[in-house]
């Protein structure tokens, strides 16, 4: 017995209060780990900030495990924040476990009829190039768009460019 | 009921010029097909204590009843094999009966309703069922093109049981003449898929003498590529 999938539609500009979670930008885990900040801006094809995006993250725990549910009802390993008027997002989380740590990112916004999925790596570029998951990009200059830049001892900076010069690699 | 439409005709394209906001936000490069990620696993898991009792009755969030036509909205959250998506968070938001969102960004010159916020949350049960009590939202004009009005709709956000099932969509109402001119609705290439975004009237699921019943089932993708257990 099969059923046709329900199509995607835009999140529109009025989702904020409905989808805002208490401490949505402070990602929790059962384990303790090195706390880090991931921040940056979302920019459109004209280089203008996208001030009405929803930015969601999903990642492994500091020990490289699938996050278990939180005791307070809050999902572990999952972050959800809005971009500010200047296109800035900010997620406080823990460094995911593994040799080539990464965070999956889902973007939703007015003007996107379906979600954009991508991934940010918190590892040096040469290590990211060796990741088998990114084999089609191994020799591409675009791989850089998936690598965050250290911006302090516990802070990483990563911008998302939706279109045009330096366009971020998005996943099918 | 087999869906014979092409899978790539179900979701809209990123670039759909009739919907102006896509023009500068749609990526131009092809998407990268990546192998299954270590992150394509069930989750995030959200306990039911995350929401409050009564979050699914949008008519009880003010001091008295909101204006508008009260409705009961029920449906099931399913995967493509028809299996229920159980204990999963459903979040909705909508305009009030006059077509105005209780949102600071909504500049439409229609009255706010002090008794209607237009935000609801619930979890599906073990059969994948959900239920909201709300009012029928109004249509409203927008800036996309001359005389542009959005059809009446309710926004849905579904997390499903794994990231691959994540879906944000909109539910429309049967017989709405504005559907014909709406670029958001018409961005879905396949006609049968478009119609799956329209709820059905179901009188007996309403509350006699109080609220009109509508049903809307939602089918999430991803189940075939990722075993998600039960």
Domain-embedded: residue B17: no
- Class (C level, CATH) for A16-161: mainly beta
Q: Residue B204 domain-assigned?
A: yes
Residue pair B160/B222 in contact (Cβ under 8 Å)? The answer is yes
With CB atoms and an 8 Å threshold, state whether B3 touches A8: no
Say whether B31 and A172 touch across the interface (CB within 8 A). yes
**How many Cα atoms occupy the beta-carbon half-sphere of B197 within 13 Å?**
31
Which tokens belong to B148?
């542009």
**Element containing residue A94 per DSSP (H, E):** strand A88-94
Q: What is the mean pLDDT of residues A37-44?
A: 98
Tell me which H or E stretch contains A133. none
Share of chain A above pLDDT 70, in %: 97
Q: For B168-213, what is each residue's pLDDT tens digit?
A: 999 999 999 999 999 999 999 999 999 999 999 999 999 999 999 9
| Residue B167: closest C-alpha in chain A | A8
In a domain, B181, yes or no: yes
Active-site position among B150, B185, B194, B214: B150
Do B33 and B45 contact (CB within 8 A), yes or no?
no
Q: Given a cut of 50, is residue B228 above it in pLDDT?
A: no
Handedness of CA B115, B117, B119, B121 (dihedral sign): negative
Residues of B with Cβ-Cβ distance to A172 under 8 angstroms: 31-34
pLDDT confidence of residue B153: 98
Annotated domain spans of chain A: 16-161
Tally of domains in chain B: 1
Would an 8 Å CB–CB cutoff place A128 in contact with chain B?
no
What is the per-residue pLDDT for B223?
60
Interface of A with B in 63-122 (CB under 8 A): 66-78, 98, 102, 104, 106, 108-116, 119
Q: Is the pLDDT of residue B227 over 60?
A: no
CB B192 to CB A119 under 8 A? no
Of B90, B59, B9, the residue nearest B212 (C-alpha): B59
Q: What is the domain extent for residue B104?
A: 35-220
- Higher-scoring residue by pLDDT: B46, A147: A147
Q: Give the dihedral sign, CA B23/B26/B27/B28.
A: negative
Helix (H) or strand (E) holding B11: none
- Taking residues A125-143, what's their average pLDDT? 92
Which of A10, A17, A77 minimises the CB distance to B44?
A: A77
In a domain, B6, yes or no: no
Which pLDDT belongs to residue B7?
65
Flag if B91 and A18 touch (Cβ within 8 Å): yes
Q: What is the pLDDT of residue B36?
A: 73
Q: How many CB pairs under 8 A join A and B?
A: 235
Query: How many degrees, rounded to 5, is the angle at CA A104 between CA A37 and CA A135?
Result: 120
Alpha helix (H) ranges present in A15-156? 16-19, 125-129
pLDDT-above-70 percentage for chain B: 93
* C-alpha span between A104 and B117 (Å, rounded): 32
- Cα B111 to chain centroid distance, Å, stands at 24
Contacts of A20 in chain B (CB under 8 A): none
Average pLDDT over residues B128-149: 98
Rounded to whole angstroms, how far apart are CA atoms B140 and B135?
A: 15
What is this structure's pTM?
Answer: 0.95
Confidence of residue A107 (pLDDT cuts 50, 70, 90): very high
- In this structure, what CATH number is given to the domain that contains residue B160? 2.60.130.10
Nearest to B35 among A78, A133, A142 (CB): A133
| Nearest alpha-carbon partner for B83 in A43, A139, A3, A23 | A3
Look at residue B23 and tell me if it is in a domain.
Answer: no
């Amino acid at each position: 017995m099969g059923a046709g999938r329900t199509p995607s539609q835009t999140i529109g500009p009025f989702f904020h209060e409905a989808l805002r979670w208490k401490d949505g930008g402070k990602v929790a885990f059962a384990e303790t780990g090195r706390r880090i900040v991931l921040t940056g801006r979302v920019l459109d094809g004209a280089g203008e900030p996208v001030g009405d995006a929803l930015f969601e993250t999903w990642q492994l725990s500091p020990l490289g495990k699938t996050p278990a549910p939180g005791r307070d009802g809050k999902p572990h390993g999952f972050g959800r924040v809005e971009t500010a008027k200047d296109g800035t997002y900010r997620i406080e989380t823990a460094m995911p476990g593994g040799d080539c740590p990464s965070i999956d990112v889902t973007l939703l916004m007015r003007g996107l009829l379906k979600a954009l999925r991508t991934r940010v790596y918190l590892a040096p570029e040469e290590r990211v190039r060796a990741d088998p998951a990114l084999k089609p990009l191994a020799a591409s200059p675009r791989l850089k768009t998936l690598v965050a830049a250290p911006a302090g001892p516990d802070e990483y900076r990563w911008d998302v460019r939706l279109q045009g010069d330096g366009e971020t690699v998005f996943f099918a | 009921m087999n869906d014979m439409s092409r899978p790539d005709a179900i979701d809209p394209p990123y670039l759909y010029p009739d919907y102006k906001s896509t023009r500068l936000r749609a990526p131009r490069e092809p998407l990268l097909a990546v192998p299954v990620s270590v992150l394509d696993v069930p989750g995030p898991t959200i306990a039911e204590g995350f929401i409050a009792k009564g979050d699914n009755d949008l008519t009880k969030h003010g001091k008295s009843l909101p204006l508008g036509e009260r409705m009961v909205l029920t449906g099931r959250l399913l995967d493509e094999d028809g299996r229920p998506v159980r204990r999963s968070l459903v979040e909705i938001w909508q305009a009030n009966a006059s077509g105005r969102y209780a949102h600071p960004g909504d500049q439409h010159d229609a009255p706010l309703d002090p008794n209607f916020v237009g935000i609801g949350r619930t979890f599906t049960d073990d059969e994948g069922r959900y239920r909201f009590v709300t009012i029928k939202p109004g249509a409203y004009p927008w800036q996309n093109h001359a005389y542009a009005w959005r059809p009446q709709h309710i926004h849905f956000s579904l997390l499903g049981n794994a990231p691959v099932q994540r879906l944000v969509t909109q539910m429309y109402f049967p017989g709405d003449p504005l559907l014909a001119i709406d670029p958001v609705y018409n961005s879905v290439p396949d006609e049968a898929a478009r119609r799956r975004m329209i709820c059905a009237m179901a009188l007996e699921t309403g509350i006699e003498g109080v609220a009109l019943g509508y049903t809307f089932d939602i089918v999430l993708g991803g189940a075939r590529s990722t075993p998600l257990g039960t």
